[in-house]
Amino acid sequence: MIRRLKDMFSVLKSSPGRQLVVAYAHDAHTLAAVREAVSMGIVKATLTGDEQSIREICKMEKIDPGIFDFASAADEQQAASLAVSLVKSGQGDLIMKGTVSTDRYMRAILSKEHGILPPGALLTHVSVLDPVKYKKLLIIGDVAIIPLPGLKEKQVILNALISTAHSLGIQNPKVAVIAATEQALPGMPACIDAAVLSKMAERGQFKNAIVEGPVALDVALDTESAKIKKINTPVAGDADCLLFPNIESGNVFYKCHTKLLEGDVAAIVCGASVPAVLSSRGDSIRTKLFSIALAAMMTL
């Protein structure tokens, strides 16, 4: 079982050979992260974009371009489309966003004709946090893609959280469906959705996971809070996964972790035919590297 994000590296080194395709790898942070991943033997990498420009950035950053394969594309849009088509034709197992805009990257993935979204599938963002003050990894969603998920979307997010946990070796993850209170209050849709998901889990609709909701964040993370509130569930104070009711609450938690606690994080987009890394311009080399590793873990 993966207990810290860095533990992923040793697992991945023992099963090399997957191919990462990077869409428009025109920035130093992305190239440095991919260089690290290639050097560690986690992935082989194909970079799409203007080869000459990428080689110049490599030279400035003292990165050996010989460790990469190149697929030339004239501009951002072409680079994104090329990256997706390489994956679709079986020449890539993972895809990563370079400096192409998120709009263009997502449009290429979602393209009905040339994209890599299976019919009826929904993309959702999953983050794995390595908290400074919590005993284990926390898998959370959706903090970046689905703004206000309904019950149907929450099932998709929940399944993505569970499958990410399984990929990290957590066999029976404990999922807290977050709301502002533990009561199923009719006036608060987050509470009602959480109660329904919890009941669905009780009836076996989510395999190999314990799902509990509604649960406020203090109960999910802190055993003492659960004791005081008299909430008796195996998820209390021991959650592996947190399902947030909307993008704001998830995003606030994510950024508390990264900006206030300076904790490590890995993030991927689930739902496409391969795991996708959707890194932000603001992400560090370390975060990008962890995200590549997480995407690779999903392919094992």
Partner 1 sequence: MNQIKTPDHPVTCVKRNCRTKTLTAADVFHKGLANFAGAELNGLLQGRLKPVIVMSGSESIISKFYCIALSVFIADHSI
Residue 34: in which H helix or E strand, if any?
helix 28-39
Q: What is the dihedral of CA 253, 201, 171, 140, to 10 degrees?
A: -10
CA distances from 260 to 220, 263, 264, 266 (A): 20, 8, 12, 17
Instruction: Please report whether residue 66 would count as binding partner 1 according to CB under 8 A.
Output: no
Instruction: Please report whether residue 248 would count as binding partner 1 according to CB under 8 A.
Output: yes
Q: Determine the interface stretch with partner 1 among 78-86, 91-99, 118-126, 173-181 (rule: CB under 8 A).
A: 173-181
The single residue among 117, 180, 196, 200 that binds partner 1, judged by CB under 8 A, is 180
Q: Determine the interface stretch with partner 1 among 58-66, 94-102, 164-172, 255-263 (rule: CB under 8 A).
A: 255-263
**70 CB-contact burial (10 Å; exposed 0-12 / middle 13-18 / buried 19+):** middle
Q: Are 298 and 161 in contact (CB under 8 A)?
A: no
Instruction: Please report whether residue 253 would count as binding partner 1 according to CB under 8 A.
Output: yes
CA distances from 52 to 49, 86, 164, 259 (A): 9, 20, 37, 35
* Near partner 1 in 280-299, by CB under 8 A: 281-282
The count of C-alpha atoms lying within 13 angstroms of the C-alpha of 167, restricted to the half-sphere facing its C-beta, is: 23
CB closer to partner 1, 124 vs 258: 258
Instruction: Please report whether residue 260 would count as binding partner 1 according to CB under 8 A.
Output: yes
Spacing of C-alpha 69 from chain mean position: 25
The single residue among 67, 74, 252, 300 that binds partner 1, judged by CB under 8 A, is 252
Secondary structure of residue 23 in the 3-state scheme: strand
Q: Determine the interface stretch with partner 1 among 11-19, 58-66, 74-82, 254-262 (rule: CB under 8 A).
A: 254-262
State the number of binding residues for partner 1 (CB under 8 A): 35
Residues 93-119 as b/e (b if ≥16 CB within 10 A, e otherwise) read bbbbbbbbeeebbbbbbebeeebbbee
Q: Are 80 and 23 in contact (CB under 8 A)?
A: yes
Instruction: Please report whether residue 238 would count as binding partner 1 according to CB under 8 A.
Output: no
Instruction: Please report whether residue 28 would count as binding partner 1 according to CB under 8 A.
Output: no
The single residue among 40, 91, 218, 299 that binds partner 1, judged by CB under 8 A, is 218
Please state, in angstroms and rounded to a whole number, the distance separating the CA atoms of residues 129 and 270. 16
Q: Determine the interface stretch with partner 1 among 4-12, 65-73, 93-101, 223-231 (rule: CB under 8 A).
A: 223-231
The single residue among 101, 246, 273, 299 that binds partner 1, judged by CB under 8 A, is 246
Please give the residue ranges that form the binding site for partner 1 (CB under 8 A): 131, 133-134, 178-180, 188, 190, 216-219, 221-222, 224-226, 228-229, 244-246, 248-253, 256-257, 259-261, 281-282
